[in-house]
Copies of this chain bind each other. A is one copy, B any other.
Amino acid sequence: MNETNTNRRLAAVTTLLPPGMTPEGSRGLILSEALRLFAEHGYGGASIRDIAQQVGIKGASVYSHYPSKAHVLAELLRIGHEEHFRRMRAALLAAGPEPTQQLIAVVRAHVFAHAEYPMLAVVASAEMHALPAEFATPILEVRRNSEMQLLDVIRRGTELGVFNVPDAELALAAIAAMGVRVAHWYAPDNKRTPEQIADVFAQFACRLVGAAV
């Protein structure tokens, strides 16, 4: 592991995984430490032995908890994507019928998730390609659902004449991108809180779609 090559991807973060998603004992520790290492060095750059060492066990012992390294990554990506989807859906459900309010709610949730769990988000977006195809399919499905939630908001707002976008899919791409990249530069020592960033980005999204604010 390249110790001199640290933190070019992501600064230190304390909360790694959403509460309630982490298993007990070694199983959970493996997940957190794998996340930390995958975020820092990439999936290929962190070995089973590295992870085990962080946990305080030996490499072989990891296999008492996960059948393979890919299973660990898959679980992380699943947790990340599901948490992200859940938050967006919950935000949307609470937002009421007004398209602008919906957009604000969804973008806030999207951005917030990436700022609150940046390691999870970085791994989810940067290490997807390391996941064998059989693991990727259901996770990509979740991702597509998340995107669809946002796309539907944009489309509906456009149809209702509240938004004005030349190309809904490009608007989706642009708005989604803002949030995704947050995970790559946000660190807890940033002078803005995740909430503040989420608020500003929600405003950006509204402007982007031409909503009156």
CB atoms of B5 and A131 under 8 A apart: yes
Q: Do A173 and B185 touch across chains, with their CB atoms under 8 A apart? A: yes
Q: Which residues of B contact A203 (CB under 8 A)?
A: 166
Which chain B residue shows the least CB distance to A209? Answer: B207
How far apart are A5's CB and chain B's nearest CB, in angstroms? 5
Count of chain copies: 4
The answer to whether A9 has its CB under 8 Å from any CB of chain B is yes
- A5 touches which one: B5, B133, B197 (CB < 8 A)? B133
Across the interface, A4 reaches (CB within 8 A) one of B42, B133, B176, namely B133
Q: Which residues of B contact A9 (CB under 8 A)?
A: 128-129
| A201 interface neighbour in B41, B133, B174, B200, Cβ under 8 Å | B174
A180, A181, A185 pick with most chain B CB within 10 angstroms: A181
Determine the interface band of chain A, counting residues with CB < 8 A from chain B: 35 or more
A65 vs chain B, min Cβ distance (A): 15
A2 closest partner in B (C-beta): B132
Q: How far is the CB of A103 from chain B (nearest CB, A)?
A: 13
Q: How far is A126 from B171 in the complex, measured between Cα atoms in Å? A: 23
Are B129 and A41 interface neighbours, CB within 8 A? Answer: yes
The verdict on A197 contacting B181 (CB below 8 Å), with A4-B132, A41-B129, A129-B42 known, is no
Would you give the shortest CB distance from A165 to chain B, in whole angstroms? 9
Expressed in whole angstroms, the minimum distance between the Cβ of A118 and any Cβ of chain B is 13
Cβ of A130 under 8 Å from chain B? yes
The 10 closest A-B pairs by CB, nearest first: A44-B44, A177-B181, A174-B178, A9-B129, A177-B177, A4-B133, A207-B207, A177-B178, A204-B208, A170-B200
